[in-house]
C-alpha cells in the first residue's frame, strides 16, 4: 500500500515528551499520541524538516511555520507536523499537531 493522505488532528500525550532532546525553538515530539481514539507509539524518527514562510506584516523576514516529522510508529510510517501558530477562523483553531499521511 502506498502513502495515504489523512490530514487529521492528533492529540499528543504530553507526559511522554522528553524536552532534553528538543532543539531550541522546536516543539517536543511526544513518544505517544492519540489518533482516532487509539494510542500510537513513536518507535523512531526517520527525518525532520521545517517549513518556512514570509512575515504576515510585510517584513522581508522568513519564519518557521511548521515542524515536520517522518516517524516509524506502531501503525506504520507517518508524516506529522506541528503548526507554530494555530489556525485562525477554523473549527480546529486549537489543534497544533496534525497527521498528514500514513504509509
Percent of residues, the chain, with pLDDT higher than 70:
88
φ and ψ at 16, to 5 degrees?
A: -95, 5
Instruction: Look at 84 and 71; give whichever has higher pLDDT.
Output: 71
Distance, in Å, from the CA atom of 95 to the CA atom of 101, rounded to the nearest integer, reads 17
DSSP state at residue 25: T
Segment 9-59, tens digit of pLDDT? 999 999 998 776 677 778 899 999 999 999 999 999 999 999 988 877 778
Q: What is the pLDDT of residue 88?
A: 65
Of the candidates 76, 78, 58, the one whose C-alpha atom is nearest the C-alpha of residue 10 is: 78
| Residue 35: domain span | 4-102
Computed over every residue of the chain, the mean pLDDT equals 88
- Number of domains comprising the chain: 1
Give the pLDDT band of residue 92 (cuts 50, 70, 90).
low
Cα 87 from chain centroid (whole Å): 14
CB distance 81 to 67 below 8 Å: yes
Of the candidates 10, 15, 16, the one whose C-alpha atom is nearest the C-alpha of residue 38 is: 10
Amino acid at each position: 500500500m502506498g502513502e495515504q493522505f489523512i490530514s487529521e488532528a492528533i492529540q499528543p500525550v504530553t507526559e511522554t515528551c522528553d524536552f532534553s532532546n528538543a532543539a531550541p525553538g522546536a516543539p517536543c515530539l511526544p513518544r505517544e499520541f492519540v489518533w482516532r481514539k487509539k494510542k500510537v507509539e513513536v518507535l523512531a524518527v526517520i527525518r525532520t524538516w521545517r517549513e518556512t514562510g514570509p512575515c504576515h506584516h510585510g517584513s522581508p523576514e522568513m519564519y518557521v511555520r511548521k515542524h515536520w516529522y517522518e516517524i516509524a510508529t506502531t501503525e506504520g510510517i507517518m508524516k506529522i507536523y506541528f503548526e507554530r501558530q494555530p489556525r485562525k477562523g477554523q473549527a480546529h483553531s486549537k489543534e497544533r499537531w496534525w497527521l498528514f499521511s500514513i504509509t
